[in-house]
């Protein structure tokens, strides 16, 4: 009798262990807890005791998450009681390695980096008030791979820099001659319609920063950020160069009347901007060589962005033309605005000539 009773007890104990295991396994596989795919693959080789241990860990984790959430709900931190963010953010890591050898899909990139972001590629710190409202403007056409690489590194860096920022990809509609400068003017105007930005960082799509101490913010004068690019052996190709990545406060950009709208095709628009800055009594500043390092994504010259041989001559006339060619004469049509999690995409018709030979036939637009 006693023997039968103990057998029943053992059977019951076994049954309850099996039930617990089945329950935990089901719980683990359900949607309640996010497990990265690698964990699932790892589990296949794990022993049953590991699965039980993991299940218990997850349960405890979930419990502490619920507790934390409860505590947060009791003590909400309203925006107006937050302190300003420090001038030197605590989370910076300094130099980081940049690698373009992988070929992740957009969804993979979104999964890896978009957690803290809001729609339109926006972010601001949750625990302090950022001193920097920055619009990142990227002139763009047909460079999906480059944009993916850039955003993969740029978003986490800007989050660490504790900016209140948004990323605007300004796409030139159609196949006409490319105009980088005019697209940047459009980005300035369109970003201001979206939010009360005070600072504008204009960035080529193929320049990826390698050090998060290179601040994407504004300074007392316009700033040239891309000072040490690997393609140029980490040297400035010439002293007055202002191409690549630059930053302007809203007031600085308005003072110089933005970029010229008339530099069609490759070259000259950045030198024209350098002259605008000097002619308006400002100078440029730059980060330290060590922090201003960039990796450029290698590519061939784009179709319809050939070097325009007429552009260098225009630089002799910047002083006369700058106040009647720029933000105050900007003329374009927005065709579409798409808010992705990683960026705000603005497709714009900038009345581009069909090819470089027909550029001269257009009036200054
Ligand atoms: Mn390039």
Residue 360 binned pLDDT confidence (cut-offs 50, 70, 90): low
Residue 84 located in a structural domain: no
* DSSP 8-state assignment for residue 127: S
Angle between helices 269-279 and 180-194 (to 10 degrees): 60
pLDDT at 260 over 90: yes
Q: Which residues of 59-70 are buried (b: 16+ CB within 10 A; e: fewer)?
A: eeeeeeeeeeee
- Tokens at 312, concatenated: 């260098």
- Tokens at 89, concatenated: 């953010």
Residue 324 located in a structural domain: yes
Residue 96 binned pLDDT confidence (cut-offs 50, 70, 90): very high
Mean pLDDT, residues 41-49: 37
Do residues 183 and 139 lie in contact, with contact meaning Cβ atoms separated by under 8 Å? yes
Q: In whole angstroms, what is the distance from residue 169 CA to residue 147 CA? A: 9
pTM summary value: 0.78
Q: In whole angstroms, what is the distance from residue 179 CA to residue 332 CA? A: 12
Residue 173 binned pLDDT confidence (cut-offs 50, 70, 90): very high
Do residues 151 and 167 lie in contact, with contact meaning Cβ atoms separated by under 8 Å? yes
CATH number of the domain at 331, please.
3.90.550.10
Residue 364 located in a structural domain: no
Enzyme catalytic residues: 204, 206, 266, 269-270, 296, 299, 301
Closest CA to 243 of 296, 297, 202: 202
**Predicted confidence (pLDDT) per residue in 151-167, tens digit:** 999 999 999 999 999 99
Residue 191 CA, ligand 1 centroid: distance in Å: 23
- Tokens at 258, concatenated: 């933005």
Residue 203 CA, ligand 1 centroid: distance in Å: 11
pLDDT at 72: 40
Residue 204 CA, ligand 1 centroid: distance in Å: 7
Closest CA to 151 of 303, 337, 297, 266: 297
Residue 278 located in a structural domain: yes
Residue 35 located in a structural domain: no
pLDDT at 34: 27
Residue 178 CA, ligand 1 centroid: distance in Å: 13
Q: Which residues of 85-111 are buried (b: 16+ CB within 10 A; e: fewer)?
A: beeebeeeeeeeebebeeeeeeeebbe
**Predicted confidence (pLDDT) per residue in 313-338, tens digit:** 999 999 999 999 999 999 999 999 99
**Predicted confidence (pLDDT) per residue in 122-138, tens digit:** 999 999 999 999 999 99
- Tokens at 14, concatenated: 């076994």
Q: In whole angstroms, what is the distance from residue 179 CA to residue 320 CA? A: 21
Expressed as residue numbers, the domain containing 259 is 117-349
Residue 10 binned pLDDT confidence (cut-offs 50, 70, 90): low
Q: In whole angstroms, what is the distance from residue 102 CA to residue 316 CA? A: 44
Domains held by the chain: number: 1
Do residues 335 and 347 lie in contact, with contact meaning Cβ atoms separated by under 8 Å? yes
Residue 127 located in a structural domain: yes
Residue 112 located in a structural domain: no
pLDDT at 301: 87
Rg of the chain over CA atoms, in angstroms? 27
Q: What is the maximal distance between C-alpha atoms in the chain?
A: 110
Q: Is 205 helix (H, G, I), strand (E, B) or coil?
A: coil
pLDDT at 245 over 50: yes
For 269, phi and psi rounded to 5 degrees? Answer: -65, -30
Residue whose token pair is 């980081």: 96
Residue 358 binned pLDDT confidence (cut-offs 50, 70, 90): confident
Residue 245 CA, ligand 1 centroid: distance in Å: 11
pLDDT at 8: 52
Q: In whole angstroms, what is the distance from residue 199 CA to residue 249 CA? A: 4
Give ∠ CA 59-60-61 in degrees, rounded to 5.
90
């Amino acid at each position: 009798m006693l023997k039968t009773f103990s057998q029943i007890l053992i059977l019951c104990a076994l049954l309850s262990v099996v039930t617990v295991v089945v329950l935990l396994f089901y719980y683990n596989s359900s949607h309640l807890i996010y497990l990265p795919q690698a964990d699932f693959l790892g589990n296949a080789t794990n022993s049953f005791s590991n699965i039980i241990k993991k299940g218990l860990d997850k349960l405890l984790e979930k419990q502490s998450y619920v507790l934390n959430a409860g505590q947060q709900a009791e003590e909400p931190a309203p925006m107006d009681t937050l302190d300003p963010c420090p001038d030197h953010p605590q989370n910076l890591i300094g130099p980081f390695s940049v690698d373009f050898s992988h070929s992740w899909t957009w969804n993979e990139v979104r999964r890896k980096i978009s957690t803290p972001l809001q729609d339109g590629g926006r972010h601001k710190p949750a625990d302090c008030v950022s001193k920097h409202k920055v619009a990142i403007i990227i002139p763009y056409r047909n460079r999906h791979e480059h944009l993916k690489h850039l955003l993969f590194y740029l978003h986490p860096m800007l989050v660490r820099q504790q900016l209140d920022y948004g990323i605007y990809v300004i796409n030139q509609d159609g196949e006409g001659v490319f105009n980088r400068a005019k697209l940047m003017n459009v980005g300035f105007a369109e970003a201001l319609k979206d939010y009360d930005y005070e600072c504008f960082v204009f960035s080529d799509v193929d320049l990826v920063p390698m050090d998060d101490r290179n601040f994407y913010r504004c300074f007392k004068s316009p700033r040239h950020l891309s000072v040490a690019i690997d393609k140029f052996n980490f040297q400035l190709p010439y002293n007055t160069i202002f191409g690549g990545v630059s930053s302007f406060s809203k007031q600085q950009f308005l003072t110089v009347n933005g970029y010229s709208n008339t530099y069609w095709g490759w070259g000259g628009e950045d030198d024209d901007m350098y002259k605008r800055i000097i002619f308006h009594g400002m100078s440029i500043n730059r980060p330290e060589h060590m922090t201003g390092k960039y990796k450029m994504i290698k590519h061939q010259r784009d179709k319809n962005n050939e070097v325009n041989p007429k552009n260098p001559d225009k630089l002799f006339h910047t002083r006369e033309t700058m106040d009647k060619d720029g933000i105050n004469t900007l003329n374009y049509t927005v065709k579409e605005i798409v808010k992705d999690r990683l960026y705000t995409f603005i497709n714009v018709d900038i009345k581009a000539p069909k090819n470089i030979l027909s550029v001269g036939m257009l009036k200054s637009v």
